[in-house]
Amino acid sequence: MKKFTLLITLLLFVVCSFAQKITRGPDVGEIYFLGPTTTILQGAIYHSTDFGETAICMDSVSALSNTLVAMTADKTPGSLYFSTMGGGLYYSDSYGNYNTWTLHQGGISNKINSGRNDGEIFNRIGSHSINYGLNFTTHSCQGFFGSTKAAEIDNSNDIAYCISYDYEINDTLFFFISYNNYDNLEVKHKFNFHWSNEVFISRENDAGTLFLCNTTLKELYFSDNYGESWTLKNLFTCPNLPIKGITGGRQDGELYLLVEYLQMMGQRRHVYIYHSLDYGETFTIYHPVSIGPDPIYADFIATDTLVEPGDTVQFTDLSNDAETWEWDFENDGTIDSYEQNPIHIYQDTGYYTVKLSISGAGGIIQDYGIRNNYIHVKNLTSISNKTKENIIIVYPVPSKNHLTIESKSDITGISIFDLNGLLIEAFYPPNFIEQNKLIALSFYHYKSGVYLIKIETAQNSHLKKIVINH
């Protein structure tokens, strides 16, 4: 019985490691993704032409007779493929509409790639087709070793990539490049990731540009030199995003994340599309699939992240439907507070990682959020006068109706944004009155929620989060 259970566990791990649930279409703003409907928990095919803001369910029936494990769009408009756990490759020339699918091939893996040339599709690293999956050419794969974890083709013809792991080298993932469609491969980079980490890679819009997302560690990387070196672009630890797939877009710097919540036996089913145009540094968040109450998750902010020893820091809970809170202000495993919106005093200088663990739905759902190196405690009295002049203080946070901004430098502009980056209101002299380096703003007309405030001075600009709670 133990061997049988282990076999099932490994099978599910391999399937999940390869499953590709989101893919770009041939047009700007066009994506396809797999998600739930009111009748099925997963596997319904959605199509969006507005960057994920809205989506139409094209097929919720095929998943009833097939276990869909991967999907990719062709360069040809309307052309879409999906592969099944049984190894079938299905093709639609009508945007994935039900009753337009035909079986083109068997023995296909759960990692397929397309979209570079019309009719071209890759079956992991082992073979590829140039006639919409009807016939495949086998690759020799010389120089490859280990087991394939992820694969992607470049925007340049013949260049392709893959990531492998070796059970005997459990702290390394190997990034390969091929210059002749996987006939020969060479190691281009080594990642210090555990072999079990779930990793996705996707090409960006230009040749030699790639995104890599380690969904186990919640880390996003970008490379612009064919994978030789990588830059950390983002951490998705607060909220602790359940990322199910990524795909680069048709514009420079464009990236999509598929975030899916299935909670309480499907009572809460939600799909979010995170869309970025700056290489994954910031995102606009869309919510095209919403079934049931909003998901339960942990999130928080602090009033100020740069403080002096002995200063009081106010933490504000931004979680959804949380019923209990456990705060670890130094990420040392010790629970420091059970309050919803606690305060904490840091006595020693240094950087502090903060973790919030929550539970909801009577304890059925648990989640946590971590902000790494979030609080910087520093002896500000020892810094230069020039640096002091750049310090801006915003209080109180949370605020009921009024907010005060204190600055040593003259403020030249104030802008208020929502969390999607949309401008709500802007103030410029003489539209605000500055008295003794203090500016008071009124928020009577704002809805309760979290906003971004950008404060500009002659020297630089500052971006802070504020909370309005009437």
Query: For position 76, which CATH number holds?
Result: 2.130.10.10
Tokens (6 digits) for 418: 């929502």
Q: What is the mean pLDDT of residues 28-36?
A: 97
Cis geometry, peptide bond prior to residue 396 (ω within 30 degrees of 0): yes
Q: Are residues 198 and 269 in the same domain?
A: yes
Of 271, 291, 311, the residue at which a domain comes to its end is: 291
**Average of pLDDT values for 279-293?**
94
In angstroms, rounded to a whole number, what is the distance separating the alpha carbons of residues 70 and 158?
Answer: 22
The burial of 19, by beta-carbon neighbours within 10 Å (0-12 exposed, 13-18 middle, 19 or more buried), is given as buried
> Does some domain include residue 106?
yes
Does residue 7 sit within a domain?
no
How many C-beta atoms surround the C-beta of residue 253 within 10 A?
A: 17
- Structural domain range at position 304: 300-377
Which pLDDT score, from 0 to 100, does residue 403 have? 83
pLDDT of the residue at 301? 87
- Of 342, 377, 412, the residue at which a domain comes to its end is 377
Q: Both 159 and 181 in a single domain?
A: yes
- Shared domain for 254 and 308, answered yes or no, is no
Which residue among 274, 291, 308 closes a domain?
291
* Percent of all residues in the chain with a pLDDT value above 90, rounded to a whole number: 67
Total domains present in the chain: 3
Please indicate, yes or no, whether residues 128 and 270 belong to a single structural domain of this protein. Answer: yes
Query: In this predicted structure, which of 24-33, 161-170, 440-449, 457-466 has the lowest mean pLDDT?
Result: 457-466
Tell me how far apart the alpha carbons of residues 425 and 68 are, in angstroms, rounded to a whole number.
45
End-to-end CA distance of the chain: 58
Same domain for 228 and 141, yes or no, is yes
Tokens 């005093």 belong to 345
Are both 309 and 431 inside the same structural domain?
no
> Does 290 or 442 have the greater pLDDT score?
290
- For residues 229 and 160, membership in a common domain is answered with yes
The pLDDT confidence band at residue 76, using thresholds 50, 70 and 90, is: very high
For 192-221, write each residue's pLDDT tens digit. Answer: 999 999 999 999 999 999 999 999 999 999
The mean predicted confidence, pLDDT, of the chain is 88
Give Cα separations from 319 to 24, 65, 203, 257 (angstroms).
31, 38, 33, 21
Q: What is the pLDDT of residue 412?
A: 85
User: What is the reported pLDDT for 67?
Assistant: 87
Residues contacting 368, CB < 8 A, separation 6+: 240, 298, 355, 356, 357, 358
Indicate if 200 and 145 belong to the same structural domain.
yes
Q: What's the gap between Cα 315 and its chain centre?
A: 24
CATH code (residue 416): 2.60.40.1930
**C-alpha to C-alpha distance for 60 and 37, rounded to whole angstroms:** 7
Q: Does residue 385 form part of some domain?
A: no
